[in-house]
Amino acid sequence: MTSIIQIQNLSKTYNTGFHALKDISLDIKRGEIFALLGPNGAGKTTLISVICGIVNKSSGAVLVDGHDNVTDFRATRKMIGLVPQELHLSFFETVWDTIKFSRKLFGKPDDDAYLEKILQQLSLLDKKHSKIGTLSGGMKRRVLIAKALSHEPTVLFLDEPTAGVDVELRKDMWNVVRGLRDNGVTIILTTHYIEEAEEMADRVGVISKGAMILVEDKTALMKKMGQKKLTLTLEKPLVALPKKLAKFNLQLLNNGSEISYAYDVSKGKPDIAGLLADVQAAKIGYSDIHTAQNSLEDIFMGLVKQ
């Protein structure tokens, strides 16, 4: 079995009547890093909460390693570590006490050496005996990650892990995440920052208004990102493109006032000089020229707007 998590026709309607998840089906592969992308309010946290047992589903099913997450919740929850979006911590406790508590809550025997290793990786070791309330926001986020890892989960959910987090922590965190993935841990992270998905993920899912609108390998998405566009603003509108320019992949836009040249940088160097020479030879005057990249952001915005 290659899927560690199978989500089947999952729907969630809150008591308010709000339809937060709409018939979501999704398989998470064992050992991958999956980025769940979507604007605020799309349903990312709701989806994670249903999988982890914090929110009740309305219909559908969630299987973790083949176990139903409701009827066999002990088996599924033991495998899962959750880093919540908000800094939910008890401020009067020390870092050490809270991660020891987390491990016990998940039914695991004490293993101080392992917990210290986690603190080390998260650069938290010197804060071991600090009260959580005295730590900065970034440090609190690290403590949440340490808590989630305390019981050696095989699946880790990170809900907007880098929201409001400094660059240093972001780097630390990615190193930890990569290390986990190398040890076979499956990671699902949500974000509304595209760079985050670009940097880390193997696959990307886009959720909008409670529906999964796209699930794709990141490399496939990146290919689309390789698309660039050069636009010439013409001095005088054209009725049609001259035959001479037919060998270029051109489009006439804005009532003939713009020529747009699409090319793919991943397929070799574009012949921009040749295009401009031919345009000049055809006696077409242009007043401006600019290029644009088709980013994941564009793809994403295009999808979400639909």
Partner 1 sequence: MNWRAVVAIFTYEMKRFFRTLFQSLISPVISTVLYFIVFGAAIGSRITQIDGVSYGAFIVPGLIMLSILTQSISNASFGIYFPKFSGTIYEYLSAPVSALEMVLGFVGAAAAKSILIGLVILATSAFFVPVVILHPFWMILFLLLTAITFSLFGFIIGLWADGFEKLQIIPLLVITPLTFLGGSFYSIHVLPEFWQNVSLFNPVVYLISGFRWSFYEISDVSLSVSLGMTFVFLCICLTAVAWIFRTGYRLKS
Give contact residues for partner 1 (rule: CB under 8 A). 14-15, 52-56, 73-75, 77-78, 80, 82, 84, 86, 88-90, 92, 101-102, 104-109, 147
Q: What angle do CA 142, 144, 149 make, to 5 degrees?
A: 95
Query: Can residue 28 be called a binding residue for ligand ADP (CB under 6 A)?
Result: no
DSSP per residue, 32-67: -EEEEE--TTSSHHHHHHHHHTSS--SEEEEEETTE
* Residue closer to ligand ADP (CB basis): 20 or 173: 20
Span of 40-48, 59-67, 163-171, 173-181 interacting with Mg ion by CB under 5 A:
40-48
Reading the block at residue 205, the tokens are 């899912």
Query: Can residue 57 be called a binding residue for ligand ADP (CB under 6 A)?
Result: no
DSSP per residue, 212-230: EEEEEEHHHHHHHHTEEEE
Helix, strand or coil for residue 244? Answer: helix
**278 burial level (CB within 10 Å; 0-12, 13-18, 19+):** middle
* Residue closer to Mg ion (CB basis): 11 or 85: 85
* Residue closer to ligand ADP (CB basis): 80 or 122: 80
- Segment 72 to 91, residues that bind Mg ion, using CB under 5 A: 85
Query: Can residue 38 be called a binding residue for ligand ADP (CB under 6 A)?
Result: yes
* Residue closer to ligand ADP (CB basis): 54 or 292: 54
Indicate the angle between helix axes 218-225 and 296-305, nearest 10 degrees: 100
- Supply the minimum distance, in Å, between the C-beta of residue 48 and ligand ADP: 8
Name residue 61's beta-bridge partners.
Answer: 8
Interface with ligand ADP by CB under 6 A: which residues?
14, 16, 18, 20, 38, 40-46
